[in-house]
Amino acid sequence: MSSERVRGRSTWPLALLVSVVGTQLLLGLTGAASWLVTQVSDPALSVPAGPPPDLAVGGATLETGLPLALTRAQIWNRGAQLVAASGHVDWPPDVPPLTPAEVPGGGWLTFVFAVPDPEHPETPLPTYTVKMERSRADIVDEQALVSGIPLPPSVPLLDAYPIPSTQAILLAEENGGTEYRRACPLQRHISRISLDTTDPARHRWTVTYRDDRFPDRNGMLVRIDAMTGEVDGPEMHVPRDAGACEEAALLDQAPRHA
């Protein structure tokens, strides 16, 4: 009885270590989220049958994608609650001279749900993960897993924040993100947003920028208070002028020979 997958109907191998959404997937536990898939026999862990419905065409944000993801999770288990949400933005390589006014449609959304068990907080929690393609607002993957990760101290309330995820992404762009991407656009085309709820009194969006040449670390990080919009950062892990961008771009554009 191994966990199932909705799209593709493939079977997960046992003891497979899965990274769900990379950085800060479990609500701000930065760099900590590796999840263990184990053999399960509980029928509550089965994946909902049938193809999931899609959102209307036009793109999805964490806020607009949540209702559909929650519907799927509550088919899996009526007690499912959101414990983690993150987004992946794929920026075009032609970085404009000014800060963008909107977020491009490319990328992914990932939602993780769990069924709380306050009486047994140390017991591995069943989780249900929904992955959505942003530009088509289409669910592309669903997974029912057993996780050894405990519940966070507080849960995200995506529809309750004055600063929505899209605004947080654009605030990060205004506070160094656009300039950072422009310095090396082909290698810095991905940013990620997640919600840090480790402090119950202060939920914050965390926007990270990647540099493909340094896959072992975040390039730059900006935090935005979800209630006030206060910005902390940028925090640099790969300097803006890390060098070799032009040479790397030429290599990327050069024709490949067999």
What number of CA atoms fall less than 13 Å from residue 204's CA on the CB side? 21
Q: How confident is the model at residue 56 (pLDDT cuts 50, 70, 90)?
A: very low
Q: Distance between CA atoms of 258 and 247, rounded to whole angstroms?
A: 21
Has residue 61 got a pLDDT over 70? Answer: yes
Has residue 168 got a pLDDT over 90? Answer: yes
Q: How confident is the model at residue 49 (pLDDT cuts 50, 70, 90)?
A: low
| DSSP codes of every residue in 218-245 | -SEEEEEETTT--EEEEEESS-TT-S-H
117 contact partners, CB below 8 Å, separation of at least 6: 123, 125
More confident site: 159 or 245? 159
Q: What is the mean pLDDT of residues 204-225?
A: 90
Has residue 12 got a pLDDT over 70? Answer: no
Q: What is the mean pLDDT of residues 59-64?
A: 89
Q: Distance between CA atoms of 159 and 79, rounded to whole angstroms?
A: 19
pTM attached to this predicted model: 0.73
Burial of 41 (0-12, 13-18, 19+ CB in 10 A): exposed
Q: Which of 23, 18, 19 is nearest to 193 (CA)?
A: 23
Q: What is the mean pLDDT of residues 60-85?
A: 92
Q: How confident is the model at residue 20 (pLDDT cuts 50, 70, 90)?
A: very low
Percent helix, strand and coil across the chain, each to the nearest 5: 20, 30, 55
pLDDT at 242: 59
Q: Which of 18, 10, 12, 11 is nearest to 36 (CA)?
A: 18
Do residues 182 and 94 make contact, with C-beta atoms less than 8 angstroms apart?
no
Collapsing DSSP states into helix, strand and coil, what is residue 179? helix
Do residues 115 and 20 make contact, with C-beta atoms less than 8 angstroms apart?
no
pLDDT 10s digits, 217-244: 888 999 999 999 999 988 887 766 656 6
More confident site: 45 or 106? 106
Has residue 109 got a pLDDT over 50? Answer: yes
Average pLDDT across the chain, whole number: 75
Please report the sign of the dihedral spanned by the C-alpha atoms of residue 128, residue 207, residue 23, residue 153: negative
Amino acid at 27: L
pLDDT at 146: 73
Do residues 229 and 173 make contact, with C-beta atoms less than 8 angstroms apart?
no
Output the six-digit token pair for 132: 């959505």
What is Dmax (Cα atoms) for the chain?
A: 61
